[in-house]
Amino acid sequence: MEILFLIISVFTVITALTALAVKDRVVSVLAGGATGLFASILFIIMAAPDVAMTEAAIGSGLTTFIFFFALRKIRRNDQDHSYKVSEVTNRSREND
């Protein structure tokens, strides 16, 4: 059990680092959601099914949905206003 726990913990941290490292916003959001999902597995192992459900449904599921709605809105406005998200992110990449 502990080994399994350790492995999932490692995965949790890896997904979190992925969210940090990737350049693409969408992937980052998804990785953030995945962190939550892995964490909810940890919660189950720690005998916290209520928390696991909540984390999966809210912390990981709905949160990611809301992120996507927000991103969608930004992208849509992008087309409306002809703002260039790619330009912005490129610049920030250069600066990094």
Partner 1 sequence: MIKKAFTFLMLGGLGAMLLNFILSFRERTALPEVAAHYIEKGPAELGSANIVTSVVVTYRGLDTLGEVTILFAAAAVVGLLIHLNRNENAVRREGSEILKTASALLFPLILMFGAYVFLNGHLSPGGGFQGGAIIASAVVLTVLASPNRKIGHTVLSVIESISGLAYVALGAAGALLVANGFLDNRIIPLGEFGTLFSAGLIPIIYTLIGLKVGSELSSVVISLNGETIEEDDQ
Partner 2 sequence: MIGTIAVSTGSLLVLVGLWSALTNRDIIRMIVGFTIFDVGIHLIMISVGYISGGTAPIISNLSDIGVSYVDPVPQALVLTAIVIGLGITAFMLTYAVNMYEKKGTLEIDKFEELKW
Measured CA to CA, the distance from residue 31 to residue 24 in angstroms comes to 11
62 binds partner 2 (CB under 8 A): yes
Report in angstroms how near the CB of residue 29 gets to partner 2 at its nearest: 6
Question: Residue 76 binds what, of partner 2, partner 1, none (CB under 5 to 8 Å, by partner type)?
Answer: partner 1
Binding test (CB under 8 A) with partner 1, winner from 6, 17, 20, 70: 70
User: Minimal CA–CA distance to 35: which of 52, 60, 58?
Assistant: 60
User: Minimal CA–CA distance to 10: which of 32, 42, 43?
Assistant: 42
Task: List contacts with partner 1 (CB under 8 A).
Answer: 48-54, 57-58, 61-62, 65-66, 69-70, 73, 76, 80
